[in-house]
Amino acid sequence: MNCGEYIMTLRHFRIFVTVCNHGSITKASEILYIAQPSVSLAIKELENNYGIKLFDRMSRKVIITEAGKKFFEYASHILALLDEIETSANNWNSEGTIRVGTSITIANYLLPLYMNEFKRGNPQTKIYVNVDNSKKVEDLVIKNEVDFALVEGNIHNNSIIAKEKFMNDELVLVCGPNHPYANIKEIDLDTIKTQDFILREKGSANRDMFDGILHLNGIEITPAWQSISTHVIIEAVRNGFGISVLPYFLVKIALDRDLLHRIKIKNILMKREYSIIYHKNKVLTNSMKTFMEICKNTTV
């Protein structure tokens, strides 16, 4: 970094992050109560200081570059850490808090188990939970809006996110007990492409993994239903509105009770890991480490 010409300040980072979040220099100037030329100057000083181009300027629009996206990850994390110091310093002598991010499936079926186990030994620790699909939860980790997260499948930012496995699972193809496939044990992937699928939304780990398998096999489908609720999907499949691909642990009870039927897809394995993720620069407290160990050691 060339510090001789410009002195980079948190003000520069905050202006840059605000422009990124709102996609507009005009909007950033309104939010920060700063004149537009001052916003543009701060961005220019950042670009000159680090020798990178942060935005492409087209007419009145600013479009973030690939270098800008990487810079945004670091700048937003720095600002989030500063905000955390300012809001948390007065509570450091108290019992503490934990901010947990989690995917929707884990929140529904695993998180209550882990929280109850943790609370038995740490009754005074406050736990805040943020639930969304795995990709959005990963973004919360990058921005330091959660301390760590429980997610399914792969992560997208291995360079700045640490990952520790806590559970194995697999996706399984299921149909209702009265579906034409209910008496079939195994089927070709190409055969099922004409069926009505009931799937999670794009961005969820379940959907991303299945879409990836379809893409590798040259298959495209348009789901008949999309839902962020796995409960809705299970009920729709059980009532014969279509077939779905869901985590095995989630549908195990329904399979055991013959409310759903599992069909193996020939030559396709959909095994995956559930992971604890956190920013590599995150300072983990003893409470956070305890919660993570409970996730790794609790039998489901």
pLDDT single digits (tens) 251-273? 988 999 999 999 999 999 898 88
Residues 83-121: tens digit of each pLDDT: 777 766 655 544 578 999 999 889 988 999 999 999 999
Give the model's pLDDT for residue 96.
Answer: 78
For 164-181, how does the pLDDT look when each residue is reduced to its tens digit (9 = 90+)?
999 988 899 999 999 999
- Asked if residues 286 and 209 have their Cβ atoms less than 8 Å apart, the reply is no
Report which of residues 7 and 72 the model is more confident about. 72
Encode burial over 123-150: b for 16+ CB neighbours within 10 A, e otherwise: eebebeeebbbbbebbbbbbbbbbbbbb
CA pair distance 102, 282, nearest whole angstrom = 17
The residue among 275, 277, 276, 232 whose CA lies nearest residue 250 is 232
Average pLDDT taken over every residue of the chain: 88
Could you give the dihedral angle defined by the CA atoms of residues 240, 241, 247 and 250, in that order, rounded to the nearest 10 degrees?
Answer: -60
pLDDT at 135: 85
- CA atoms lying within 13 Å on the CB side of residue 110: 31
Q: Which CATH number fits domain 93-167+273-297: 3.40.190.10, 3.40.50.410, 3.90.1010.20, 3.40.50.1370?
A: 3.40.190.10
Whether the per-residue pLDDT at 134 is higher than 90: the answer is no
170-272: same fold as 10-87?
Answer: no
The answer to whether residue 156 scores a pLDDT higher than 90 is: no
Q: What's the CATH fold of domain 170-272?
A: D-Maltodextrin-Binding Protein; domain 2 (3.40.190)
Locate 17 and state its tokens.
């992050």
Residue 191: pLDDT over 50:
yes
Where exactly are the structural domains of the chain?
10-87, 93-167+273-297, 170-272
> What phi, psi does 227 have (nearest 5°)?
-150, 145
pLDDT band at residue 159, thresholds of 50, 70 and 90?
confident
